[in-house]
Chain A
Amino acid sequence: AAGVIQSPRHLIKEKRETATLKCYPIPRHDTVYWYQQGPGQDPQFLISFYEKMQSDKGSIPDRFSAQQFSDYHSELNMSSLELGDSALYFCASSLGRGGQYFGPGTRLTVT
């Protein structure tokens, strides 16, 4: 079965640079979620979109923004990167309030 696709899988950026992470949900899923996971930590919710509208907002810094496009893929834009932004970023998708299925993640390293 098709899964959530994330790109890139690895990304290295310097402080103060910008990064864009992409997420392609499971076909026919209408809801996308972004989570951040630090080393040895549990995933922390950042933001979600339902039918291209922002639905919930968690601990997402003001330096980050995200959107969901007409084809349901989503992008997480991160600006003025800080060392503390180094983490795994996961995208998950669901059909409405059904189970959330996670992608393989993007490992972001800020140097």
Chain B
Amino acid sequence: GENVEQHPSTLSVQEGDSAVIKCTYSDSASNYFPWYKQELGKGPQLIIDIRSNVGEKKDQRIAVTLNKTAKHFSLHITETQPEDSAVYFCAAPNNNAGNMLTFGGGTRLMVKP
């Protein structure tokens, strides 16, 4: 099955700085990599995803990069704001036939005003 590792577990940045969260995965057949933001007491919110046919995808202040050879992908948040503070999870599908997700351990991002 898929194994997803996520680093760092906590990240503290100053408002306006950039934040980078990195994940590695084990199954070279995986082809879809979503990122979720989870605020306290809420469900995970899909914020961006990338498929293996592209190396980078951007959506305003958020970008994801994928290196299939190295089996790692990263989330980049620029110009961070206090409302970006949350737990972020990366994920990868557990197998090729289905769509079940294996999540990384999560990164608690704190943006200090």
A: which residues have CB within 8 A of B? 4, 31, 33, 42-45, 48, 55-56, 58, 90, 94, 97, 99-105
Contact = CB atoms under 8 A, between A and B. Distances in A.
Contacts of B45: 102
A94 B100 CA distance: 11
B49 A90 contact: no
8 contacts: A43-B103, A44-B103, A45-B94, A45-B101, A100-B46, A101-B46, A102-B36, A104-B43
Interface hub of A4, A42, A45 (most chain B Cβ within 10 A): A42
Contacts of B100: 33, 45, 48, 56, 58
B1 to A, nearest CB: 9
Nearest to A48: B100
Given A97-B32, A99-B49, A100-B34, A43 B44 contact: yes
B61 interface: no
B99 A42 contact: no
A4 B42 CA distance: 12
B103 A105 contact: no
B72 to A, nearest CB: 18
Contacts, number: 54
Given A45-B94, A56-B100, A90 B43 contact: yes
Contacts of B42: 104-105
The 7 closest A-B pairs by CB, nearest first: A42-B103, A102-B43, A56-B98, A56-B100, A45-B100, A102-B44, A97-B99
A33 B94 CA distance: 13
Given A102-B36, A105-B43, A45 B49 contact: no
Given A43-B89, A56-B95, A102-B46, 14 more contacts: A33-B101, A42-B89, A43-B44, A43-B101, A45-B102, A56-B94, A56-B98, A56-B100, A94-B99, A97-B32, A100-B34, A100-B99, A100-B101, A105-B43
